Amino acid sequence: MISAVILAAGLSRRMGKPKQLLPLGSKKLVEHAVANALYSKAGEVIVVIGAQREKVEQTLSLYDVKTVFNPRYNEGQGTSVAAGAAAVSSQCQGILYLLADQPFVYPEVIDGIIDAFLDKKAPVVRAGRTGHPVLFDIALKHQIMQLSGDTGGRKIISKYKQNIVTVPVCQCFLTADLDTEEDYQRAKALFIIK
């Protein structure tokens, strides 16, 4: 089983407002990430929350997900990555990390990463050459749980760079995380077009 972990704990400093709660169509950004993960081949969906805890929990109350509060969310993404790893089920074979601000990572993209992982048995599988989504073999859980600060999984990825499997995807999936107001406006325009 693959555990999908959605990182939704951040402070959204560059955006200046809680981006996981920004509306996109009839849903908030975090809901798009959750819905995409739930419709994928992932066996469980875990959402790591921190900033705006109560509002995010309320937003997700109707979804079949496990929420995990990261009390150290203000220390950087690495702490949320570690909190997500700590919450996966004992049947987990791999941990797939998704971002709450990537609403266009559809189930087909997630499934392609999962299929490549199950087929190739690589320690790390990712969409495109950089960034998220990225899937780590459960054998790396101890290393993941040692992460802190803002490095996220980059340290582990660089350690296994010779063994990484890259799944080609449309470039729009990789560049559509929303860090600024301009990114958000572009996402709203893309959403209307789709």
Greater confidence, 96 or 148?
96
Q: What is the CA radius of gyration of the chain?
A: 15
- Judged against a pLDDT cut of 80, whether residue 46 lies above it is answered with yes
pLDDT tens digit string along 64-110?
999 999 999 999 999 999 999 999 999 999 999 999 999 989 999 99
Q: Which residues pair with 3 in a beta bridge?
A: 44, 95
Share of residues in the chain with pLDDT > 90 (%): 71
**Mean per-residue pLDDT of the chain:** 90
pLDDT in the model for residue 42: 99
Q: Which residues pair with 8 in a beta bridge?
A: 49
Where does residue 16 rank: exposed (0-12), middle (13-18), buried (19+ CB within 10 A)?
A: exposed
Q: How confident is the model at residue 17 (pLDDT cuts 50, 70, 90)?
A: low
d(CA 105, CA 127): 10
Greater confidence, 130 or 153?
153
Superfamily classification of domain 2-193: Spore Coat Polysaccharide Biosynthesis Protein SpsA; Chain A (3.90.550.10)
Q: How confident is the model at residue 191 (pLDDT cuts 50, 70, 90)?
A: confident
Task: Provide the 3-class DSSP secondary structure of residue 182.
Answer: helix
Domain residue spans of the chain: 2-193
